Amino acid sequence: MTTDSWVPGSADGGFGIENLPYGVFSRPGELPRVGVAIGGFVLDLAALSAAGLVDDRRCFASGSLNAFMVAGRPVWEANRARLVELLTDEGFREQVQPCLIPVADVSLLRPFEVADYVDFFSSEHHARNTGRILRPRSEPLPSNWKRLPVAYHGRAGTVYPSGTPIIRPSGQRRTPGEPEPTYGPSTRLDFEAEVGFVAGVPSVPGRGVPAGAFRDHVFGFVLVNDWSARDVQMWESQPLGPFLGKSFATSISSWVVPVAALEPARVSPPVQDPEPLPYLRCAEPWGLDLHLEVLINGQVVARPRFADMYWTSPQQLAHATVNGAPLRTGDLFASGTVSGPDRDQRGCLLELTANGDEPLELPDGTKRTYLEDGDTVTLRAQAPGAKGSRITLGEVTGTVYPAQPAEPV
């Protein structure tokens, strides 16, 4: 693939011809539709389709990527090849240029309709760190952790696009040492820096999806912030796991980076010992060399490395479906918190502050144990692209607002 595009500025900023992520956008007075990021522009695929420049599959004029995602890998590959042709061949410039809209002139929306949401727990560093913090007298890793990708089911209806305000949740929480729980706004609101993938092609009920079929079903990757009310979560997670402490909000980035764009970022994952059961084995290396940044109020507080994740995305997909649960278009699978061996590589405040016992000092001198009202959290990520380029997964951001009272009776 060439790295040369005639679009001004496309060689800089991570949204070059090697990336071409998909999203959904709108302009004032216009309906949402599908676009692709290139440089500082959004390429309007509905307009391209209307002009006869890409195949009209009646999916780009919708307010969701779902209709395109369900079309399958041959269609994804053909459309990507056509976009590369249109954006690198000067002969198409006059026809395509009117379909380029400055990204500053559009609103970016949630890119797909979420059918289901699953969140994994796939970083060994995160699992060990949290185990030591929360269960200091026990083995930090549960006995099943290295045998299967641990996960919980989240709530699809509260997966929000980047920029959506995050209202501080309320719930039951019990202060250590107190005999009874109390009710009120969470005092331990946290972020979790994660990477997710979204399914495009459904699977047959009753049949698992093998790890080797990952490319045939998965459309692309997004950044995920799985907001967590730690005090609510810790009180309720006995014995069935997270519920209200997680279900109030999950934020995703605006752009879905195609699997094909991340092929150059594939690396060998950590050695898995013991060897996973056969259905979890993957013939290809599916670690991803993604470099994340976490910012609080514009200040970098952590730089986790996704390449350190113990369980890979194809393994997660295989495990999530091995019982015969079918994939649906728009199913979102998040990695779990991305953390590394060093303190500045930890992807949540639970780890960064040892559950509030060791306050985190921000570069401006302010300190945090957990998030305060008014705080803005931003996650970013970059990866190697084709021909030595760097591509970006964009960013996902959210600002915390005070808890709201319940509806009046």
Binding residues for Ca(2+): 119, 192, 194, 226
Structure tokens at 66: 């779902």
77: helix, strand or coil: helix
Q: How far is CA 12 from the centre of its chain?
A: 23
d(CA 399, CA 248): 14
The closest of 308, 384, 388 to 346, measured between CA atoms, is 308
Task: Name every residue whose Cβ is closer than 8 Å to that of residue 94 and which is 6 or more positions away in sequence.
Answer: none
Work out the number of other CB atoms within 10 angstroms of the CB of residue 176.
6
d(CA 315, CA 299): 34
Give the containing element (helix H, strand E) for 95: helix 93-96
d(CA 278, CA 36): 38
d(CA 325, CA 206): 6
**By the 8 A CB rule, do 120 and 334 touch?**
yes
**By the 8 A CB rule, do 249 and 155 touch?**
no
Q: Is 140 left (phi over 0), alpha (psi -120 to 50) or beta?
A: alpha
Per-residue DSSP letter, 201: S
Binding residues for substrate: 121, 135, 233, 337
Per DSSP, the chain holds a count of helices (H) and strands (E) of 10, 26
Binding residues: 119, 121, 135, 192, 194, 226, 233, 246, 250, 337
Per-residue DSSP letter, 30: S
d(CA 200, CA 71): 8
Binding residues for Mg(2+): 226, 246, 250
**Which residue numbers are catalytic?**
126
Helix then strand then coil, in percent of the chain rounded to 5, is 25, 25, 50
d(CA 184, CA 328): 36
